[in-house]
Structure 1
Amino acid sequence: MTAFPWAAFGTGLLYSALAALAIMLLTFLVALAKGVHRIVDVAWGLGFTAIALVTFASSDGHGDGTRRLLATVLTAVWGLRLAVHIGVRRCGHGEDARYERLLARAPGNRHLYALRAVYLLQAALIWLVSLPVQAAQYADGPLGPGAAAGAALWLFGLTFEAVGDSQLARFRADPRNRGRIMDQGLWRWTRHPNYFGDCCVWWGLYLLSSESWQPALISLLSPLLMTYLLTQGSGMALLERHMADRPGFAAYAARTSPFLPRRPPDP
């Protein structure tokens, strides 16, 4: 096994940072033109896809070809699915309430504050969370059991997330469910199947990249950070504060696991 190419990896980190920054700055300009900042949620998945493609191109001549291709494809599939799902769900709606509350606290120009507090912050987070994808492009040696386990965990997570999103979309599309709490399908097992699936995706990508100690050490921050964001940051914690006063939510929360899937109680 050859030594890890630190110099080439460092150059790749720079290209990835520029890719994430470019995606977010372009999204910011589109948001200004449309007058809504909610489209930044669509750019989240696109940013990861861009980084996967940029690092795949910039790492040519390094790493294991199969691992490089697999990491790129898995990341792009996840990122594009998420971008399309959010884009379809938000189409035709006004500003997201989260961004309305954030911008209401802006000390000065609202749009410049959004650029700092939303777009540049998300560019940095995308760059950090995507470390396993970047490291996988330079990891030497053939795929082993860890990579197989990572791909399986990625597939499980993507399926869990996509099924949960689909079930919620069908529930919301039925006028009879207006004002009700979604507590069917995977949503009986966990209050956040989409966030749990996301978490599995990134731990899977971490395993794919970490069959040697250098990529494993470089990448560990990524799944830890994503798990924190999903459970304590802008994910379930923020959503549950918003849902706390909804009729029926307290009873739903009392009987349903907050994150890790758990067998629902018998009716």
Structure 2
Amino acid sequence: MSGFFIILTALVGLCVAFAGVYFISRKIDNYGFVDVAWSYAFAALAFFYALVGPGWPVRRALISSMAILWSLRLGTHLCRRVVSHHPEEDGRYAQLRKDWKGNFAPKMFGFFQLQAASVVLLGLAFFIACLNPEPQLHLLEIAGAILWLLSVAGEATADAQLAAFKHNKANKGRVCDVGLWHFSRHPNYFFEWMTWVAYAIFAGASPWGWLGIIGPAVILFLLLRVTGIPLTEEQSVRSKGEAYRRYQKTTNAFIPWFPKKSS
């Protein structure tokens, strides 16, 4: 099976799957489930590449295991969050309903299809690694695996700290600024991005590995400029008001660092 046909098969399969998720989301009237589907889709993609890729089996098993474990952890975390709030929809999608009013259904269907395409684009690092026949691990691959482990642990810690903060009823309406959230307004996003950097480093040991940088580059753009921090912060300002504005003035948005003194 040629590389082009492998990618095309993956794209068609995911487009069909996301179309199904769209119709389910429409039926239950909660489009937040697209985040869950997006996260889990990487596990399916990595497994498919590992299954059909012609590369060294040990490398295929390692990169697919990294992707699958990350995907299942993030997907399960998001699924619990979306289900716990259902039928209340994530504020980002509630806002899109307003922004796309009058032409919402076709635009949202297109949005779901873009999610499918983004999974294939971002998963290029997995694909490249699964093509590499070299029968030994490169130092870049070992470094990528170590960074991946640290990044997944950091993201899981940030998610757990936020969940624990929200679970405490005394914190209702307050801004989470404890643990990693004391050093960044979005430590979960930072460590998620570092996970993609790890995949890019891992792929860098393979022919055409430089294409792996597409993943962290696209994720960084989305987090900083599109659906990540901008929409999340808009929602936080709407729900927490001045308290969140004070948090914005003292705490870095993305890279964890010591907070500034409040003026």
Scaled by the length of structure 2, what TM-score is found? 0.91
Aligned to 2:171: 177
Match of 1:153 in 2: 147
Deviation at 1:154, TM superposition (A): 0.8
Q: Is the CA contact (8 Å cut-off) linking 2:128 and 2:207 kept in structure 1?
A: no
Is 1:133 matched with 2:126?
A: yes
Q: Counterpart of 1:65?
A: 57
1:142-183 Cα offsets, whole Å, 9 max, x none, are 211100110111111111110000000010011100110000
- Aligned equivalent of 1:244: 237
Residues 82-104 of structure 1, C-alpha deviations (whole Å, 9 max, x = no match): 11101111214222222222233
Shift of 1:213: 4.1
SS for the counterpart of 2:32 is: coil
Tell me, in whole angstroms, the C-alpha distance in 2 between the residues paired with 1:157 and 1:25: 31
Using the TM superposition, give the Cα deviation of residue 252 of structure 1 relative to its aligned residue in structure 2, in angstroms. Answer: 1.5
| Offset of residue 109 of structure 1 | 5.0
Residues in 2 aligned to 1:253 and 1:107: alpha-carbon distance in whole angstroms: 30
Report the counterpart of residue 253 of structure 1 in structure 2: 248
Please tell me whether the aligned partners of residues 197 and 213 of structure 2 are also in contact (alpha carbons under 8 angstroms): no
Partner of 2:196: 202
Bigger share in helix: 2
Task: State the 4+ residue runs in structure 1 displaced beyond 6 angstroms.
Answer: none
The 8 Å contact of residues 188 and 256 in structure 1, kept in 2 or not, is answered as: yes
Whole-Å Cα distance in 1 between the matches of residues 146 and 261 of structure 2? 30
Aligned length: 257
Which of the residues 222, 240, 258 maps onto 2:215? 222
Q: Whole-Å Cα distance in 2 between the matches of residues 84 and 28 of structure 1?
A: 19
Equivalent runs, 1:1-267 vs 2, <5 Å: 8-59=2-53, 62-91=54-83, 92-93=85-86, 94-106=88-100, 108=102, 110-116=104-110, 118-141=111-134, 142-214=136-208, 216-245=209-238, 246-264=241-259
Contact 1:202 1:222 in 2 (8 A): yes
Aligned-pair CA distance for 1:35 = 1.9
C-alpha RMSD of matched pairs (Å): 1.9
C-alpha displacement of 1:237: 2.0
Give, in whole Å, the separation in 2 of the partners of 1:29 and 1:209.
35
Give, as a single letter, the amino acid of the residue that structure 1 aligns with 2:167: A
3-state SS, counterpart of residue 153 of structure 1: helix
Please say if residues 60 and 130 of structure 2, whose CA atoms lie closer than 8 Å, have aligned partners that are also in contact: yes
In structure 2, what is the Cα distance between the partners aligned to 1:240 and 1:261?
17
Could you tell me how far 1:188 is from its partner in structure 2? 0.7
Distance 1:248 1:87, change over 3 A: same
Structure 2: gaps spanning 5 or more residues? none
